[in-house]
Structure formats: structure tokens, C-alpha cells
Amino acid sequence: MAENRMNPDRAGAAQGRALAGDVLVPGSARAEKFALDKPLSFWGGYDSEAGRIIDPTHPQTGLSLAGKIMVMAHAKGSSSSSSVLAEAIRNGTGPVGIVLKERDLIISIGAIVAAELYGLAVPVVCLDASAFDRVMAAPGMLRIEAAEENRAARIYLE
Amino acid sequence: MLQLSERDQAMLAGEFGRGAARAMQIVARTAHVMSAPNLIDICSAHIDGCLYHGQASLDFVELFVEAGARVAVSTTLNVGSLDLIHPELYHGDRAVQSAAQRLMQAHLLLGCESSFTCAPYQLKNRPAKGEQIAWAESNAIVFANSVLGARTSRYGDFLDLAAAITGRAPYAGLHVEENRAGRIVLRVEAFAHRTSRDIYFAALGLLVGKIAGAVVPAITGLPDDTSEDEFKALGAAAASSGAVALFHAVGITPEAPTLDAALQGQAPLKTVDVALADLDEVRQTLNQGREGDELVAVALGTPHFSLAEFQRLAKILDAYEGAPKSDFYINTSRFILWELGERGLARAFEERGIQIVVDTCTYITPVMKKLSGLVMTNSGKWASYAPANIGVTVAYGSMDECVRSAFEGKVRFHG
């Protein structure tokens, strides 16, 4: 940890498994990856009590994001999704970290408010296309280190 | 890096009260997410957070109520989870009902108007072209940007209220002129001559959302006499299948007198031709009903029915005798209901056995009597969300087809 903080770029490049991105919402997480095959609207698409995808047209319907790091290329759908995400985070039925390819306000605000209201920090990071594709392709666990808004995020493929 | 004004900083430091400080903190954090250089003043806000999604909804608003915060700009409210004018319609969980009511009322304590509509653009004081606003509710956002030419990013719950309390929004996204340029062109084959014209707009909207994602589309080929209700259907559908917050209808909408103006003089990333066959395919994908299937109900008014739509429906109803065999629901705002009342129309619809639902929408809350079976709608948005939200199956048809089917109690398509 300390070494990475001192020189994160080189540490990552040397190991070939750390990627840099933008911090949309700070925090840290280490969990199994859940890559969404299609964009998901949390509102109308995710049950924040049961913690599962309920959109019947979504290819991963019935599956849970609880405790996972959600990887999603871009968001879609209703602006109510911020609330559903915040509620899922409050209930512990939501993702513990989020990796995006496009900056998404609605997802980010859900995580910001969960942090403001409940002190539950779910990091949201945004990666460029090539880094995002590497995350999508990587097997195993992910780790997100996104301590501060104005510094780069680190995503480790473990 | 975000530069806050002196006043923003004072607000953040608590000089305008604890509530304003918390709201500014959220606006500033959002501005960071959007890479905004600064904040701007807004003229109005529209708030989606009065729809109950769980304890987090209440915790957020009550924090501001307890701090004595008030909204700083004219602020309308989106639908809630309840019809406060017809509370007896609700037959869901009582604890949720009570929390949902508390949430709606908490917003009134903050100084918001009791509009409770997803179509605030049907109210009298709607935003003008070029005005900076902070609106939530995906269909209201796309309508305000596209049809009114007002400027809002795609805001959602929480930021909407934070912007209303601070009167500020991040200067980014669709607040910025150059981000409003059309980037892809959709050439739509003429469909104005088709009998079921209304659902072609919704079907086109769903396709636009799929093709455009979050990119601004410029659409050519729409009829010159496209009505606000037809744009409403198009926009609502586009915002449910994609993240569309602005479209240009070339030759019709305010920022698109010409294709070149819609594109702000740049070449488009791509041009896509949309054929009638593509729209028919969307219709078929959405529709789960077959000719002659038993129909439980018809649900119109998503987004909220306008006065013009009620007038059109009244004309269609003239061709039928008695009451419909299927339940018949129309969602609208309490303001439109009052206008109908003044014209003696509200009673006329009631006498025909039509249930008008206000303040909410039939696909987000249990107000329909039967929540299983086949329900017919002309709304692309209702068709997209209702199956997951309330568990019904959807038949998708035009307003004419919906009315005919309701009176026969069976799905009927005109072909």
C-alpha cells in the first residue's frame, strides 16, 4: 500500500496489472468482479431489498451485485436510479465498488449520497477504453484504490 | 479543477445554514464528477426525489427539513408513489404508503410546489429557450432540452434537491452550448400517413435510445406538424432505452432550424437510416399481446396525459357505447384534472368508467385493481418498465387500438 501510494504509476506498470483511472467518488474496495453484459437501469431494474437484477430483458436477470465490484460500460434509463443505488448500498445489497467507461452522474450521485448519509464509501471510478477492456477481460478479483477526488484511481487486477 | 464563487464557498462553510451547506457539498462533489470548471445559477428545478425508493429517500430529505432549509428557486415536484387526491386507489404495503406520504409532504415543507407530475412542461410557467435549469426525471429532461430549448443535464434524485436549495448547478454537460450539438443523424422514413401514428413516435423513441445511447441525435423526416404530445412520447421512450437527454428534430425544434444548425456546423459521427420496417419491429418486440387475447386493463398517460390528449380521447370515446369491459386508467397531473373539472370533462370520463389517476403513475405503484395479466398501453415507457415494476404483461398499441380493445375486453389491432 505505502509503496503504491509513493509511486503508483511505476508500481502498476512494472507488475502489468494496475490500471489508472479517474476518481468520481472516493473509496476503496476489493471484491469479485461483476461485469454487466448490458447497461442496467437500477430503477426498474434492480431490487434494492432482495439485491438482484429484476429487469426481465437483462441477460443477467436474477443475479446479485451484492458485495461485488460492478463493471459497466455506460448507464441507462431513469434518473431515479441514484436513489435505488443509494438504498441498495444502505441495505448492503448493492455493489461495493463501481467501474465505468463513461462518467455517469446518476450512478455517482447514488454513491455520493450513500457516503454523505451513511458513511458507506463505495468508490466509483472511470477508465479509458483500453483500461476498461482489460478490466472486462481479466479473471479474478479487482481492487480499487481511489482515496481522493483529485488524484488518479488505481485498479488492480488480482 | 472546480472554482467555487465566494458565495458558493460561504454556503459550503455554513453561512447560509446547515442545510444549504450540505446541499452545496453535494453540488460541488457532483461538479467534480462532471469535470465542471464552475457552478452557474439556475432559474428552476424539477425534483424526482419525492418518489419513494426506501429509507434513503426519506433520510435525505428529512435532513434538510430538520435543518430548516428552503428551495432557492421555483421548484416543481415529480410524481410520488401515491395519488394524494384519490388515496383509496392504493392497495400496497401500509408502511410504504405512510413513508411515501411523509416523503411527498417533506418536499412541500422545503417550499416545493405540489405539482406531482412527470410532465412539468405542461404547467403554465415552463422554462424558456436558453434558460439554465436543473431538472430530474428523464422524460422531463429530454423535453425541456429538446422541445423547449432550456438547458439541463441529466440530473437525478438528490442532486435535483441540492441544486434547488443552492440555486446552483455544475457548468457542464448540456448546460454548455457546444455539448448540445447533434453528433449522429437519424434519417427517418416518413410515417405520418400511418393510422397508428402515435405509437410510431414511441417506437422511434425506443430505437433512438438504443442507437444514440448518450449521444445527441439529430432526427430528420419527422412530420412538420409533430405535436408536443408526440415529442413527449418520443423523448420518454428514448430516455428509457438509452440515456438520451436531448434530441434535435430538424426543421421543428428550437435549436435545429436546419441540419447544419443542429450539428453546429460539424460533420456527424454517423448517419443511420430508420425504415418503417425497423419501427414495426420495435412495436412487435414490445408487444406481448395477440389479437383476441383477454385484456385486464388499459393504461394511458405515461408521461402524464395532456389536455389535448384528453380531448382526443373524448372524441375517440364518442364512437363507443356504455362502459369499457377492461379497466381503464389514465395518469395525469392534478392541474390537468382541475382543468378537466372546470370544463365538465372529468365527470364525463368518470361516467364512462375511466379512472383518472393523479400525482403518480400506474406503473410505479399498486393502484390498478388487477396486477397480473395483460395490460395495453400506447406508451413506450410504460411498456418498458411495467413488466418489472408491477408484474403485468404488456400489449402495445395506439390510443385508438387501446380504446377499442378496452371496450371489447380483448386485444384488437387495426393492423
Please check whether residue B268 lies inside any domain of the structure.
yes
Full domain range(s) for residue B192: 181-284
Note whether B29 and B172 are same-domain residues. yes
Q: Is residue B241 part of a domain?
A: yes
Looking at the partner chain, which of A24, A75, A83 has a beta carbon nearest the beta carbon of B157? Answer: A83
Question: How many independent structural domains does chain B possess?
Answer: 3
| Residue B80 domain-assigned (yes or no) | yes
pLDDT at A36: 95
- The partner residue sitting opposite B388, judged by closest CB among A45, A49, A82, is A45
**What share of chain B in percent tops pLDDT 90?**
89
Helices (H), ranges, B287-379: 307-317, 334-342, 345-351
Q: Which of A43, A44, A86 sits opposite B56 (nearest CB)?
A: A86
Give the residue on B whose Cα is nearest the Cα of A89.
B56
Q: Do B34 and B135 lie in a common domain?
A: yes
Is B300 in the same domain as B261? no
Look at chain A and report how many structural domains it folds into: 1
Q: Between chains, do A83 and B22 touch, taking CB under 8 Å as contact?
A: no
Contacts of A78 in chain B (CB under 8 A): 138, 156, 239-240, 385
**Which residues in chain A touch residue B1, judged by CB atoms under 8 angstroms apart?**
150
- Measure the CA–CA gap between B194 and A10, rounded to whole angstroms: 63
Average the pLDDT over B97-108 and give the result. Answer: 96
Mean pLDDT calculated for residue range A60-82: 89
Instruction: Specify the DSSP class assigned to residue B366.
Output: S
| Structural domain includes residue B399 | yes
User: Is there a domain that residue B1 lies in?
Assistant: no
Tell which phi-psi region holds residue B45, choosing left (phi > 0), alpha (psi between -120 and 50) or beta: beta
The percentage of residues in chain A with a pLDDT greater than 90, rounded to a whole number, is: 70
Reading the block at residue B169, the C-alpha cell is: 448547478
**Residue A68: half-sphere exposure toward Cβ, Cα within 13 Å:** 15
pLDDT of the residue at A15: 52
Last residue of a domain, one of B126, B145, B178: B178
Q: What pLDDT shows up at residue A17?
A: 78
State pLDDT tens for residues A6-51.
444 444 444 557 999 999 999 999 999 999 999 898 988 999 999 9
Q: Which of the residues of A are catalytic?
A: 78
Contacts of B60 (CB under 8 A, 6+ apart): A86, A113, A117, B49, B157, B158, B161
Looking at residue A9, its pLDDT comes to 47
- The one-letter code for the residue type at B124 is K
pLDDT in tens, B107-117: 999 999 999 99
Task: Please say if the pLDDT value at position B294 is more than 90.
Answer: yes
pLDDT at A77: 61
CB spacing of A105 vs B30 below 8 angstroms: yes
Query: Same structural domain for residues B192 and B243?
Result: yes
CATH number at residue A131: 3.50.30.10
Asked whether residue B252 falls in the same domain as residue B348, the answer is no
Does residue B413 lie in a domain region? no
- As given in the structure block, the three cell numbers for residue B239 are 430516455
| Mean pLDDT, rounded, for B283-311 | 96
pLDDT over 70 (residue B330): yes
Spatial separation of the C-alpha atoms in residues B98 and B28, rounded to whole Å: 33
pLDDT at B185: 98
Q: What percent of chain B has pLDDT over 70?
A: 100
- pLDDT computed for residue A149 by the predictor: 85
Task: Clarify whether residues B254 and B156 are in a common domain.
Answer: no
A75 at B interface, C-beta within 8 A = yes
Subunit contact B56:A87, Cβ cutoff 8 A: yes
- Residue B344 CA to residue B340 CA, distance in Å, equals 6
The confidence score (pLDDT) of residue A2 equals: 38
Domain of residue A70: give its range. 2-157
B159 interface with A at CB cutoff 8 Å: yes
Claim to verify: residue B156 and residue B44 sit in the same structural domain: yes
Residue B57 confidence (pLDDT) above 80: yes
Q: What is d(CA B70, CA B108) in angstroms, rounded to the nearest whole number?
A: 10
**Is residue B59 very low, low, confident or very high in pLDDT (cuts 50, 70, 90)?**
very high
Find out whether A145 and A115 touch, Cβ atoms under 8 Å.
no
Minimal Cα distance from B214: which residue of A?
A76
pLDDT of B387: 87
At residue A1, the pLDDT reads 35
Q: What is the CATH number of the domain that holds B129?
A: 3.30.499.10
Which residues fall within 8 angstroms of residue B345, CB to CB, at 6 or more apart? Answer: B310, B314
Q: Cβ contact (<8 Å) for B158 and A109?
A: yes
Helix (H, G, I), strand (E, B) or coil at B48: coil
Count CA atoms within 13 Å of residue B352 on its CB side.
22
Mean pLDDT of chain B: 95
Q: Is residue B415 part of a domain?
A: no
Of residues A45, A108, A116, nearest to B33 (C-beta): A108
Alpha-carbon distance A152 to nearest alpha carbon in chain B (angstroms): 13
pLDDT band for position A5 (50/70/90)?
very low
If asked whether residues B13 and B160 sit together in one domain, one would say: yes
- Picking from B267, B284, B301, the residue at the C-terminal end of a domain is B284
Per-residue pLDDT for B415 more than 60?
Answer: no
Contact A83 B26 (CB under 8 A): no
B304 and B341 belong to one structural domain: yes
Q: Are residues B345 and B359 located together in one domain of the fold?
A: yes
Question: What b-and-e string marks burial along B177-187, b requiring 16 or more CB atoms within 10 Å of the CB?
Answer: eeebbbbbbbe
Q: Which residue has the higher pLDDT, A6 or B175?
A: B175
pLDDT digits (tens, 9 = 90+) for B22-48: 999 999 999 999 999 999 999 999 999
Domain end (from B124, B158, B178): B178
Residue B216 pLDDT greater than 50, yes or no? yes
pTM strictly above 0.95: no
ipTM of the complex: 0.86
